[in-house]
Structures are given as C-alpha cells and as structure tokens.
Chain A
Amino acid sequence: MLLEVRDLHVEFHTREGVAKAVNGVNYSVAEGETLAVLGESGSGKSVTAQAIMGILDMPPGKIAGGEILFKDQDLLKLKPEERRRIRGQEMAMIFQDALSSLNPVLTVGQQLGEMFVVHRGMSRKDAKAKSVELMDRVRIPAAKERVNQYPHQFSGGMRQRIMIAMAMALEPSLIIADEPTTALDVTVQAQVMDLLAELQREYNMGLILITHDLGVVADVADKIAVMYAGRIVETAPVHEIYKAPAHPYTKGLLRSIPRLDQKGRELYAIKGLPPNLTRIPPGCAFNPRCPIARDVCRTDVPPLYEVDAGRRSACHFWKETLDAR
C-alpha cells in the first residue's frame, strides 16, 4: 500500500475550546489508485490532507494520535528535515485557488524551476528548460514565451495547469488534490480533471481527490470515502456508492445533486448544519440531521460496519439504508 492513514486524530486548540477536526480517520491509497474524499466544509477532509503533507499549522493544530504510513514508514515519526525532503519529491499537493496559491511576485518559470533547483540541485538554466518542458506537458500554449510571465497573466485554467505541473515536476508517487476544480469555470473543470487523470495514469501515481463535487468523483475515482464531522462515515468502490449508499448522509448528498429529470421540483437539501467541532454531539455525529435516527444513535458511536468487501458504513442502520432505496 502506498499510503495508509490509521486512526488519525487532529485537534485545533482555539479560544472557544478544542475543535476536534479529525477523529479517527482510516483510509488508504494504492499506487495508481484514485481515492475521492467527499464531505462538506469542515468535515476534516482538507485537514487530513494537510496532516499527510505535513503542512498543518501547528499550533493551533495538533496531531493527537494515529499513524500516517507512507511506503511503510510512519511520517509522524520522521524529523522535520526528512519530511521536507518527502514533500514535493514523493508527494505533492494541488490547491483549490491557483491564483492565491502561486506567488504573485515570481514568474511561473521561477516557481516551477525552484523544484529542480532545491530538490535536484540543478542550475537555474537547466531548471528553466525543465519548466518549459513541464508547461508543454500540461499543454500550456507558447510555453517558451510564457515561462517568464507572472501568475496574474494567466487564465484560471492555465494557472491550475501550472499548479498541476508544479506538483508533477518531480514525479511524486502520491498527489493530493484539494478541490482542484472548484474555482474554475465548468468547461475548464473537465479539461483540468482530464489532464490530472491522464497524468496520474501515465505516472501510475496514487491520487487523493478532495472534493464536494459528486459529478467529478464518478468519472475519475476508484473508491470514495465520505467524511462527516472528522470521521469517515462510508467508504466504498465508486460505482457501488452511487447505486446504493449505505449511510443516510451519503444518501442525502446524492439526493441533493440537481437532476434533469427532477426539473421544476424543489431541490433536496440535508436539513440542519454540520456540528460545531468543539461540541460534536454524542453518539453518531450525524444524528441531529438524520431522518432515521433512533435512541441508539444519540448514545452509541457507530463503528465502521463491514457492509461488503471493501465497503464500510458507520451507521447502526446501514442495512435498512441500503435496502430502502
């Protein structure tokens, strides 16, 4: 297994108390595999990713427990310098907003080339040639001329391509893409997603795709992990989850996708709001919003029940949910 997150706990110490952002997350990604992590804002999907990358702001963040096994070594036991070497070389991250994620005062060539200068000890000249190559690779037209331009001189889609090129630069074995298409136009979204999927196949990389866009997931992901209030509530191979969700939250998410055959009818929304992470309700965190919640849901935290091979659901009533399609 390329990456295995085991029972990860992350807390943020704030003035209002301890916010438990990640509460025992388990997931894994194999080489060449795409895992989609799904969830609302504040569900802990980005925090988990940042913990894996080692770019969590600490303090206020704190990894309270768990293991992150990457190529069989626990990243949390490594020295900061060892982790730094892994970042960029072995694993890379693509962020949501490419405009703010790229440095406004450096040319894209400088920012791409930096990877080769720092990690490979290349000369600036060679690094620049590499940058042009990378920009060609992500299909940015006139790369040779544009390598000296600044991020603000590119369009949104082109900027995200540069982010992708930067992540791919040293051919890492794991890429974490944190909502890579959210800030883009719908037409550009598909192009960027296709590019990402293509490069992933080519280099046989593991990909963690963090998103709340269920449409994106269906096309590219192999498996899905749905997160709620810092926990995984359901994991499943991608096609199965669309067919038959085994958790009421997943079900709600799927129902809230606008559909053409439902035109004119009111769009479904999961009622209520995600819980405050400093006061996660006892029992199942989803119980105040759950349409089928019973007494047991308010007292007992549901474990991840094995539904099927490679399929788990953290619902006491997963069977009913699965059957009641």
Chain B
Amino acid sequence: MGRYVIRRLLQMIPVFFGTTLLIFLMVNVMGDPIAGLCGDRQCDPATAARLRSEFGLDKPVWQQYLTYMGNVFTGDFGTAFNGQKVTELMSTAFPITIRLTVVAIVFEVVIGITLGVVTGLRRGRPVDTTVLILTLVVIAIPTFVTGLLLQLLLGVKWGIIKPSVSADPTFDELLVPGLVLASVSLAYVTRLTRTSIAENARADYVRTAVAKGLPRRRVVVRHLLRNSLIPVVTFIGTDVGALMGGAIVTERIFNIHGVGYQLYQGILRQNSQTVVGFVTILVLVFLAANLIVDLLYAVLDPRIRYA
C-alpha cells in the first residue's frame, strides 16, 4: 500500500507540471493582460510598457513559467493587478467554496443514495418511475436555469431565502446554492446507486443473507449497500474536484465570493495571476481527490489490493 501511494504521488508530478503549463500558455494566448487593466480605454503606451516590465511580461513565456513556478513553491502565487496578493484572495475564497462543496456533497450522499436505494429496491414501481423521470429532468436542465429559477421563486417571490448570500456565508445560507450546485450530480448519484442496487439485489450473497434469516434492514444495509456503493463512492470522490472548480455558475447566481467567482472575475479582467494560481490549486485538489478515491476503493472492496 505504501509503495502504491508513493508511486501515485510521483505520477502526480508530471501531471501537475503539464496541466499548469497548459493553463499558463492558455492564459497567455487569451490576450494582452495590460489591455484589460485599463478597462475600455486605450492604454497609455508608456504606462503599458512600464507595467509589462514590472510584471515580467516582456520576457519569453517559458521564462515567465519558470519564474512563476519557482515562486509558487515558496508559497508566492503573485499579485493581482489591483495589488491584492493572490494568496489573500485564496484564503477568503477557498473556505467559502469548501463550505459550498460540503453542502453539495452532503446533498448528493444523503438524498442521492437514499433515492437510489429506494428506487433500486422497487424497480418498475411508481416511485421508481417518478424518481427516474425527475432525475432526467434535472440532468436535462442546465444549472443556471435551476439556479435562477430557485432564486426567483424562493428568494424573490416567496422570500424564504435571501436571493444572494452575505460576504462570508454560513452553512444555512448555502443550503439552496448547495442544492443547485449538487443537482445534476445528485441525479447521477441516484441513477448510479439505483442501477448498482438493482444489480446486486439479485446477487447470490444477498440470497444467502436472506436465507440466514437476517432482518431485511440488515440484508440491505450491511450486505447489499456496502457492495453497491463502490461505484458511487468513486463518482462522488471525483465529483469533489469538479464541484470545487465548477461552481462558477452557481457562485455567480447567488453572488458567493468563492473560487468560482474569483475565477470568473479573473478571466473577465484577464487577471492571469489569479486564474493561474486558482487553477493550480484546483489541479492539486483534483489529483488529491482522485488518489483518495483509489485508496478508498481498496478499503471498500478487499479484493482490490495495491502493491
């Protein structure tokens, strides 16, 4: 197991450098960052040149990348054009997004798995069909539609929630945004669990458990569920990474100043330091989440042993 983890960590190194380099190049071909700095007006050429040399933008791209990476490893993610340290932005943005992700994951796990188990055990019955159609609807409607719709109804029309959250939102403020963020994944978790449960329910070991005279609850929870959750855990694990970075739409709708919001602002303002910095961290989150999923896999299924 230890050797496996070390190998996986080593494999992360090229992936890490590859992705960050790609991001770096992409941001660079996005356009002139100085042009964006001056807003709609044309920049004064002298000021532009000064800024360029100040930020090191007159050097070749590979040199910029190396300098940047060198700084990253000392914990310096650079400075945004407005003078704010990128690490400062991160320290306010990430806690908020992590909270949002936690809410979303809890929704996925609790609602998704529950619905999946219920429908998986009652395949073809009215509950099953209803939930199946509902999940299809949720998957088919884009997040910004569900988000805006819920905001309009719950926030503006009925006043149950505030349409946008405060600067440092608490968990209960994030309930509705979290649900919106989770919605599509939740539908997938439901369907995945349902299929897995229905498949395993016919397995021989479930029949054995029934023949042993175990109560139905125990048969389902201890024998059926544990086996059925293996693919679901994999999905939810990889989804953590996706949710962290993919909350751009949700965070925009509810005005949550998290990672997605900062990324959106960074792209809009062509603020390359912010974009590259945040994406670098997200790459790390993704890699870590994937590793944890693979390790969890071995915990859930003893037949899998890594060496």
Contact = CB atoms under 8 A, between A and B. Distances in A.
Interface of A: 53, 55, 84-89, 92-93, 95, 97, 100-106, 114-115, 118-119, 150, 152, 166
A105 B214 CA distance: 17
Contacts of B301: 104-105
Given A114-B214, A166-B212, 8 more contacts: A87-B211, A88-B211, A92-B211, A93-B208, A95-B207, A95-B208, A105-B226, A118-B212
Contact of A100 (B204, B211, B222, B303): B204
Interface string B156-187: 00000000000000000000000000000000
Nearest to B299: A105
B209 interface: yes
Contacts of A53: 211
Given A100-B203, A100-B205, A93 B211 contact: yes
Given A105-B302, A152-B303, A55 B214 contact: no
Contacts, number: 71
B300 interface: yes
Contacts of A118: 212-215, 218
B211 A103 contact: no
6 contacts: A84-B213, A95-B204, A95-B208, A100-B205, A101-B207, A106-B226
Contacts of A102: 205, 208
A155 B133 CA distance: 46
Q: Which of B205, B213, B222, B223 has the most CB of A within 10 A?
A: B213
Interface string B185-212: 0000000000000000001110111111
Contacts of B208: 93, 95, 101-103, 166
A64 B200 CA distance: 28
B114 interface: no
Contacts of B211: 53, 55, 87-88, 92-93, 95
B303 A97 contact: no
Nearest to A84: B213
A97 B215 contact: no
Interface string B268-307: 0000000000000000000000000000000011110000
A92 B207 CA distance: 12
B182 to A, nearest CB: 27
A123 B208 CA distance: 22
Contacts of B215: 84, 118
Nearest to A89: B213
Nearest to B205: A103
Contact of A105 (B204, B209, B300): B300
Contact of B207 (A55, A85, A115): A55
B218 A101 contact: no
A195 B209 CA distance: 23
A103 B218 contact: no
A104 B302 CA distance: 8
B227 interface: yes
Contacts of B209: 103
A97 B214 contact: no
Contacts of B223: 103, 106
- Closest A-B pairs by Cβ, 7 of them: A88-B213, A87-B213, A100-B204, A103-B205, A101-B204, A88-B212, A150-B302
A5 B211 CA distance: 19
Given A150-B302, A150-B303, A101 B210 contact: no
Contacts of B210: 55, 87
Nearest to B226: A105
A87 B207 contact: no
Contact of B303 (A55, A93, A104): A104
